Structure 1
Amino acid sequence: MTHLARSERDAFCDTLLAVGPGAPTLCSPWSAADLAAHVVVRDRRPDLAPGIWLPPLAQRLEDGQAAYAARPFPELVDLVRSGPPVWSPARLAPVDDLVNFVELFIHHEDVLRGDEQRGPRRVLSDRESRALWGSLSRLARVFFRRSPVGVVLRTPDGRSIHAHGTTELGTVVLQGRPEELLLTAYGRRRVAEVEVTGGSEPVAALWDAPLGLA
């Protein structure tokens, strides 16, 4: 069976090499090199992770990431491709798929859609799509926990997730393929191919709300 995170990592690295270090990403102002450095830090430098949440340590995280981003780009991409170090539990395929597949997918799309144009650039396998839907099913209530309106996520083939209960403002339905709904949940709605229904006021309230994992 395909190791999803490994396949996605290799595809991500191939894209990085194709677009080059200065290519734009959806994580502006980060370039492709900055995003690659972020992945390397995530894989290899757990000691820097507290800088994400603790402002006094943020500069140390930024410095560590900048040091990786300054490396020759092929060397940096090789570090991304090699994945977690031997001491990491993520070297095990099931753990890697659980903790890294979605992260790599999102950042791969950050590069592929870095031109800010809406819609997909590739076709995913059924297994990849199922894995993304499974992740969305587990995390949907977390993503939309601060929504002021009800939220239903729906695929074209009729699967649905009630991500947030209805409120006095009503309910918004987001319909699209699992990968497009996941991108929306991760704050990439401007490039996600999703059909939105529910009325102008509820939709505006949803988009104004702080969504995502933060």
Structure 2
Amino acid sequence: MPRYARSEREALADLMLELGPDAPTINEGWTTRDLAAHLVVRERRPDAAGGIVLPPLRGYAERVRRRIAARPWPQLVGQVRRPPAWSPLGNPLTDELANTMEFFVHHEDVRRARPGWSPRDLPAGLQARLWKPAGLLARVALRRFPADLLIQAPGFGELSVGRGGERLRLVGAPGELTLFLSGRQRVARVQIDGPQPLADRLRTAPLGL
């Protein structure tokens, strides 16, 4: 069975070492050093990882992340590359489920911040693996969107979300939809069909979990 989480992790770590700690990412204000520290907190600091999604813990998580970011760059990237076996998110039993989307998205965060980038030709298996979490992102982020929004990934599936009303259609490969629905609309290669005001609203909506 292909290990897409591992291959995306390795590719991201290789790219980080190639570009260095001060390269830009798609995440506004974050360099590759900031992103690497985020990933280390997520897998190695369960006391702080909750702050990634829970606002009351965000200040503590950010302080921990900044301390980790000060580590020597090769050490920091090495910790991204080799998660501890005890980590609920980094061990072999949970790796594919917990990390395929995470490392695909962050790999693209670095790739697509570089001039002249182009989408990769992803394996069909990876596209299929990304379609399920893309659907979860859509159901969470767009459940109150003021339209009847049809999301289609040709060859992989489709789903409908939103509060109803005018029809809007979002079409793309699962990888591109994952980027779009995780808040990276400006670099996602997708097609939106429908009323222009609604399409513009979707392109600038605060998406992601």
TM-score, normalised relative to structure 2:
0.89
Partner of 2:199: 203
Q: Which runs of 5+ in 2 are unaligned?
A: none
Distance 1:143 1:111 in 2: 23
Distance 1:100 1:76 in 2: 18
Partner of 1:212: 208
Give the partner amino acid of 2:106: H
Partner of 1:164: 161
Distance 1:177 1:24 in 2: 25
Give the partner amino acid of 2:80: V
8 Å CA contact 2:127, 2:175 repeated in 1: yes
Residue 113 of structure 1 and its aligned partner are, at CA, apart by 0.7
For the residue of structure 2 that corresponds to 1:154, the secondary structure is strand
C-alpha spacing 1:130/1:178, structure 2 compared with 1 (3 Å): same
Backbone CA RMSD of aligned residues: 2.1
| Residue 186 (structure 2) pairs with residue 187 (structure 1) | no
C-alpha spacing 1:90/1:205, structure 2 compared with 1 (3 Å): closer
Matches within 5 A, 1:106-125: 106-115=105-114, 119-120=118-119, 122-125=120-123
8 Å CA contact 1:17, 1:74 repeated in 2: yes
Partner of 2:95: 96
Residue 208 of structure 1 and its aligned partner are, at CA, apart by 4.8
Partner of 1:130: 128
Distance 1:116 1:163 in 2: 35
Q: Which runs of 5+ in 1 are unaligned?
A: none
Matches within 5 A, 1:76-91: 76-83=76-83, 85-91=84-90
C-alpha spacing 1:138/1:119, structure 2 compared with 1 (3 Å): same
For the residue of structure 2 that corresponds to 1:167, the secondary structure is coil
| Residue 69 (structure 2) pairs with residue 73 (structure 1) | no
For the residue of structure 2 that corresponds to 1:174, the secondary structure is strand
Distance 1:143 1:17 in 2: 33
Partner of 2:41: 41
8 Å CA contact 2:89, 2:95 repeated in 1: yes
| Residue 61 (structure 2) pairs with residue 61 (structure 1) | yes
Partner of 1:21: 21
Instruction: Tell me how many residue pairs correspond in the alignment.
Output: 208
| Residue 6 (structure 2) pairs with residue 6 (structure 1) | yes
For the residue of structure 2 that corresponds to 1:86, the secondary structure is coil
Give the partner amino acid of 1:177: A
Residue 82 of structure 1 and its aligned partner are, at CA, apart by 0.5
Residue 108 of structure 1 and its aligned partner are, at CA, apart by 0.8
**Percent pairwise identity:** 43
8 Å CA contact 1:20, 1:32 repeated in 2: yes
